[in-house]
Every structure is written in C-alpha cells, then in structure tokens.
C-alpha cells in the first residue's frame, strides 16, 4: 500500500492602530485594543492567526463532528460481505455529498475552488486505495472503519511530516474525506444547517464545512488548527467571512451560546467580553467599514505618492475565477498566478492543450493588463516522480529543479504560455532560482519553442518575458548577475525569510523567530531592489510583506515601485501611498538599515506610520 503513497498525496496537492487621519490599519496583536478586564471579569483574550480579516461579535456555536460506533474490532465470517457492501455504499454517499458541495461552491465562488472537491471525488474512485481497503476487510476480517483509518493514516502521516507548510495544511483536506467515509458507514446525516448569525468554533474545519455553513449567514469561524494559507482560510477570504486559526485547544475552553468577539485582522478572539470591549470593537468595525468605503472610491485612480511618483499594484491569484475582482480593486494586472493550482486531479500534469486554453482565457480576460505566470512551483513530495522520500523536501527536489529534470513538463508549459500570448501580456516567472544557469536554461527553451511556433507563420504571437523569483539567499548573493539575465525579478519574502533565518514558519516552537523585519531581511530587500533598479531590471514584490502597511514606506524608500498583493488589500495600500513622499521614505530606509534588531526597526516604522 505504501508503494502508491506519493500517488495519493497529489490528489490534495496542493490592533487597531489609528493614524492621525483616523484610518484603521492592520496590526498583528490584540494588545492595543484589548482593555484590562475588571478584577471579577470573565473576559479572556486569545491570540491565534488572523487568516481572513473582519470583525464579528456574536454567539458561539461549538461544532463537534460526529463519530461512529467503533466497538466492533473483528468481523464474523458471515458479516464480511455485508461490511464490504457497507463500505461501497459509504463511498457512494460520500460522492453524493461532495457533488452537492461542489455545486454550492461553483454557485458561490466559481469553478476554481470546486477543484478541491473534484480531487476528493477522484480519491473515492482510486482503484488502488479502494481495492486495498476492500481486500483487507475480507482477508483480515477487520471492520471497514478500522481499515479506512489505517490506510488513510499512511498518507496523513506523509502530509503532516512534510517540511512544506502548504502540504502540512492540506492534511486537513485528507482528514475530511476519511471522516466523511467513516461517518457514512454509520448512515449519519451530514450536519450542514446551523442557527443563523453564529460564530462557529471547532478543533478542525474542512473546506466543505465552510462552504455549507456559509449558507447560514455565519458571522465567522475560529479553529484550533490551520494556517493562513490553508484552503479554509482562502475560501473565507473569498467569502469575506472573518476567520482566526491556530488557537490550540480553544474549542475545548468554550461552550455553545458564549458571547465571542473575533478579529480576523489581528488574530484576536475574546470570550465573555465586557460591554466596554464590545463598544470598542463596534467602533473599530465601523471605522474599518468607513475606511474601506473611502478607499474603494479611490481604488480605480492611479496610486501616486505625495510627490507625484506612480506606484503600480498588481494582484496575486490562484484561479482564473479571481480575475473578475482584479480590476474593480484597482489592480493594474496580475503579478503572480500560481499555476501549480492547475495540478489538482491526481498526479497528471495538465496537457499542453489544456494549459493553453486556460492561459489564453486568462490573457483575454485581463488584456491589455499584464499577467505573470509562475511555472509549476511543485515540491519533491508532491508528485510520484520522486523515487525516494526526501528527508527535507524544502531543500530538495522542487521548483525549477524538477522542471529541468523533467523537460516534458517544462516544455509543455512553456509552449502553452507562448501560444496563449497572442495579446502580448503574458510573462513567465521561474521559481526557486539559485543560479543564472537555470534562467538561461529556460530562456533557451523559450527561444526554441517560440522559433518553432512562429517559423511557419501559423502563430502571430509575442515572445513572453522571462522573470526570476528571488526567494533564497543564493539569489540575493547573485542579484547582480540575475538582474542582467532576467527581464524582471519578483521577490518572494515568505520563503526568503524562512531560508535566510533557518526558521520553519509552520513550526510553533520557533514561530516567534520568523520575523520579516529582521535586519538581515531588511538589508537583503534594499540590496535586491537597488541592484535591480541600477541594472534597469523591473522588480516587484509578491510575498506577504508587500501587503503589510508597516513595510510599505520602507519598500518605497528602497526604490520599489511595483507590488503584487492579495486583491482585497490593494485599495488600502493605494490610499496609503498618497500620504508619503519618496524623499521621506528614502530617509526612513536609511535609518532602518542602520538598526540592529527587529524591535528597533518595527518601532521606527510604527513611529513613521503614526506621523502620517
């Protein structure tokens, strides 16, 4: 069974600080708004990860998933056939549920996120997995729920122990389909209707839970597990529902009916809030709503500094269905399309023709605005191609390394992008660059395919530009050479911080050390941006730091003029740009470069922000 574990893993591959202008900005703690409770108060404040912004106040509903009767440990011979039949019936019921959820998802969010459930449906038809479970029920005389637990746990262990943060968070999706099959063994009805207007708390929630509960006008979600890039977080962002994740055993400390406040921007959750606290959060919520209304009015205007310098904001997206929101938010293009999200249905990379159709539709939808397609950023433990289990996939076979070693994947994707570039607005972005040889390899392949496609005159297309991701220290050290070799660079601050500081951002033990304002990161960014500008190489930032209002003036002072961020953050950032002059941000950058600790840098940035 373990022999096909790699095959299976691919199915789920995948506070309020008020400025003197009274604009609420996003911070990362609750301390500035949480009052000191009275001596006899029951009010308590918890801090998790704010994964979808917004403030909600209301009653809590503690959601506990039903578990079946697991008393039976061994089957009688006469019951084996009946047990196998129960298993196949559970598969059918699970598929019916998932198709229903898929339809609701398409209606609410479009087809993009429905791929999550298509992948789960495919698992229900995986002959290796299904045959193994049925065979073991008969040969070992074990009840179905035990065999399902054991088989799925092989894959869950692989997901959880992965060094890839995205992969770890996808374990929740696999856990969901396991629980769904087991629940349906016992003919338990899917619980999807709750009282309207509650805040749902749970130890774990699946994308299916979020989609179905959203029909009840849920005010928000809080979970013990999860991360900011998990599927449930991304779905909540798309649905504009606040969510706080990573709260430990919070769901065990509360009860249904308890009054709760959640702040999805700061990660704050307050139970049994005092009237004074409720009033403060109502005030903050109203201020944020007013601010968003104000910024939405100016979102379509060009972003210009106080001294008249134009700043460009593009959007980061995962699916083409997100394109409809790009222009209304004030984006001037897409600076990062994560193409690996096309790999959802098993381990087969989409064919060239399928990719061509997808990229062409995107290019036409957004034309004449630019769209940068990042080549498949896949890790060694996400595909069956890796012959061994890597001890540390983040430092192993991933990104451009896989694409160079498997030219059929690289060539098909490059040809699809080139063919789709009929409007001249597509560009290619290479992940995980550590040498100029990798850039030259892709450039040579692009030249070859472009020549072949245009030689016969069948295609009137422009050659797409080739850019490089700067997300590892090696790329920073080679930035002089890289900016002379690439048409543009894109700074991925999440991985750059992780690799530079040797800190796994998903490891709770060292999570406090994952600091984007670390002096080493601040100095790297300045060096990369300055070098790119000197060599007339376009530079854009696409990591989380680009969305941070605190970092914005520093990045402007370093010389950055292009940002690619979460679509919903663009109006706010465009509004902030107008408060700064380049001269004062350059002076700020020089000051920060001289500081030797993260706390000093953040204190200086906060002081600058308060003055503007």
Give just the sign of the alpha carbon dihedral 398, 403, 409, 410.
positive
- Cα–Cα distance measured from residue 505 to residue 497, given in angstroms and rounded to the nearest whole number: 9
Within a 10 A sphere around the Cβ of 473, how many other Cβ atoms? 15
* Residues 76-85: b if buried by 16+ CB within 10 A, e if exposed: eeeebeebbe
- Cα–Cα distance measured from residue 35 to residue 265, given in angstroms and rounded to the nearest whole number: 18
Q: Is 37 helix (H, G, I), strand (E, B) or coil?
A: coil
Q: Are strands 199-202 and 17-18 parallel, antiparallel or unpaired?
A: unpaired
- Cα–Cα distance measured from residue 238 to residue 338, given in angstroms and rounded to the nearest whole number: 16
- Cα–Cα distance measured from residue 347 to residue 194, given in angstroms and rounded to the nearest whole number: 37
Class of residue 540 by CB neighbours under 10 A (exposed 0-12, middle 13-18, buried 19+):
buried
Alpha helices by DSSP H, 338-426: 352-366, 400-405, 407-420
- Cα–Cα distance measured from residue 145 to residue 137, given in angstroms and rounded to the nearest whole number: 9
- Cα–Cα distance measured from residue 130 to residue 140, given in angstroms and rounded to the nearest whole number: 15
- Cα–Cα distance measured from residue 553 to residue 581, given in angstroms and rounded to the nearest whole number: 9
Class of residue 196 by CB neighbours under 10 A (exposed 0-12, middle 13-18, buried 19+):
exposed
- Among 333, 313, 307, smallest CA distance to 578 is for 307
CA 59 vs. chain centroid, Å, equals 28
Class of residue 106 by CB neighbours under 10 A (exposed 0-12, middle 13-18, buried 19+):
middle
Q: What is the largest CA-CA distance in the chain?
A: 83
Q: Are strands 199-202 and 220-223 parallel, antiparallel or unpaired?
A: parallel
Within a 10 A sphere around the Cβ of 208, how many other Cβ atoms? 27
- Cα–Cα distance measured from residue 100 to residue 110, given in angstroms and rounded to the nearest whole number: 14
- Among 121, 123, 124, 126, smallest CA distance to 100 is for 121
Contact 17, 25 (CB under 8 A): yes
- Written as six digits, the tokens of 425 are 């607005």
Residues with Cβ < 8 Å from 23, sequence gap 6 or more?
Answer: 291, 575
Catalytic residues: 231, 542
**Per-residue DSSP letter, 227:** -
- Cα–Cα distance measured from residue 95 to residue 479, given in angstroms and rounded to the nearest whole number: 50
Q: Are strands 303-304 and 310-317 parallel, antiparallel or unpaired?
A: antiparallel
- Cα–Cα distance measured from residue 377 to residue 443, given in angstroms and rounded to the nearest whole number: 18
- Cα–Cα distance measured from residue 226 to residue 205, given in angstroms and rounded to the nearest whole number: 9
**CA angle 186-188-189, nearest 5°?**
155
- Cα–Cα distance measured from residue 604 to residue 612, given in angstroms and rounded to the nearest whole number: 13
């Amino acid at each position: 069974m373990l022999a096909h574990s790699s095959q299976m893993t691919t199915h789920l591959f995948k506070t309020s600080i008020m400025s003197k202008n009274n604009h609420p900005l996003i911070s990362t703690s609750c301390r500035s708004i949480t009052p000191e409770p009275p001596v006899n108060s029951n009010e308590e404040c918890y801090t998790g990860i704010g994964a979808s912004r917004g403030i909600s106040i209301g009653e809590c509903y503690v959601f506990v998933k039903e578990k079946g009767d697991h008393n039976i440990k061994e089957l009688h011979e006469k019951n084996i056939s009946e047990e196998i039949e129960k298993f196949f019936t559970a598969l059918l019921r699970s598929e019916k549920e998932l198709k229903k959820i898929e339809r609701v998802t398409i209606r609410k969010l479009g087809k993009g996120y429905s791929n999550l459930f298509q992948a789960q449906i495919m698992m229900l038809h995986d002959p290796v997995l299904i045959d193994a479970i049925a065979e073991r029920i008969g040969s070992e005389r074990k009840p179905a729920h035990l065999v399902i637990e054991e088989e799925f746990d092989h894959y869950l262990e692989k997901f959880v122990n992965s060094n890839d943060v995205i992969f770890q968070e996808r374990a929740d999706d696999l856990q969901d389909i396991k629980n769904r099959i087991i629940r349906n063994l016992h003919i338990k009805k899917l619980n999807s209707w709750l009282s309207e207007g509650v805040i749902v708390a749970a130890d774990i929630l699946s994308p299916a839970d979020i989609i179905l509960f959203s029909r009840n006008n849920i005010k928000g979600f809080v979970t013990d597990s999860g991360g900011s890039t998990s599927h449930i977080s991304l779905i909540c962002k798309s649905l504009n529902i606040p969510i706080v994740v990573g709260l430990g055993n919070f769901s065990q400390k509360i009860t249904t009916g308890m009054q709760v406040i959640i702040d999805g921007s700061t990660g704050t959750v307050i139970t049994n809030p005092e009237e004074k606290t409720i009033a403060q959060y109502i005030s903050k919520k109203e201020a944020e709503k007013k601010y968003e209304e104000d910024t939405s009015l100016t979102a379509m205007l060009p972003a210009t500094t106080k001294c008249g310098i134009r700043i460009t904001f593009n959007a980061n997206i995962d699916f083409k269905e997100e394109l409809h929101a790009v222009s209304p938010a004030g984006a001037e293009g897409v600076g990062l399309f994560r193409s690996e999200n096309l790999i959802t249905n098993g381990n087969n990379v989409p064919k060239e023709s399928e990719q061509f159709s997808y990229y062409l539709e995107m290019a036409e939808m957004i034309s004449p605005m630019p769209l940068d397609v990042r080549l498949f950023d896949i890790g060694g433990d996400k595909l069956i191609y890796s012959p061994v289990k890597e001890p540390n996939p983040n430092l192993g076979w991933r990104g451009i390394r896989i694409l160079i070693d498997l030219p059929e994947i690289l060539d098909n994707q490059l040809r699809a992008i080139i063919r789709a570039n009929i409007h001249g607005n597509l560009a290619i972005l290479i992940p995980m660059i550590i040498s100029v040889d990798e850039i030259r390899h892709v450039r040579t392949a692009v030249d070859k395919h472009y020549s072949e496609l245009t030689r016969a005159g069948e295609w009137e297309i422009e050659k797409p530009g080739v850019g490089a991701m700067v997300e590892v220290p090696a790329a920073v050290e080679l930035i002089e050479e890289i900016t002379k070799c690439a048409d543009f660079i894109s700074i991925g601050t999440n991985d750059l911080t992780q690799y530079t500081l040797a800190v796994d951002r998903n490891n709770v033990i060292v999570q406090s050390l994952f600091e984007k304002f670390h002096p080493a990161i601040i100095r790297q960014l300045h060096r990369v941006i300055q070098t790119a500008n000197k060599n007339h190489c376009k530079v854009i930032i696409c990591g989380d730091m680009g969305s941070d209002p605190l970092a914005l003036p520093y990045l402007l002072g370093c010389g950055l003029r292009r940002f690619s961020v979460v679509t919903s953050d663009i109006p706010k950032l465009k509004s902030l740009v107008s408060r700064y002059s380049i001269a004062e941000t350059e002076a700020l950058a020089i000051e920060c470069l001289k500081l030797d600790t993260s706390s000093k840098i953040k204190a200086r940035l906060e002081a600058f922000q308060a003055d503007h």
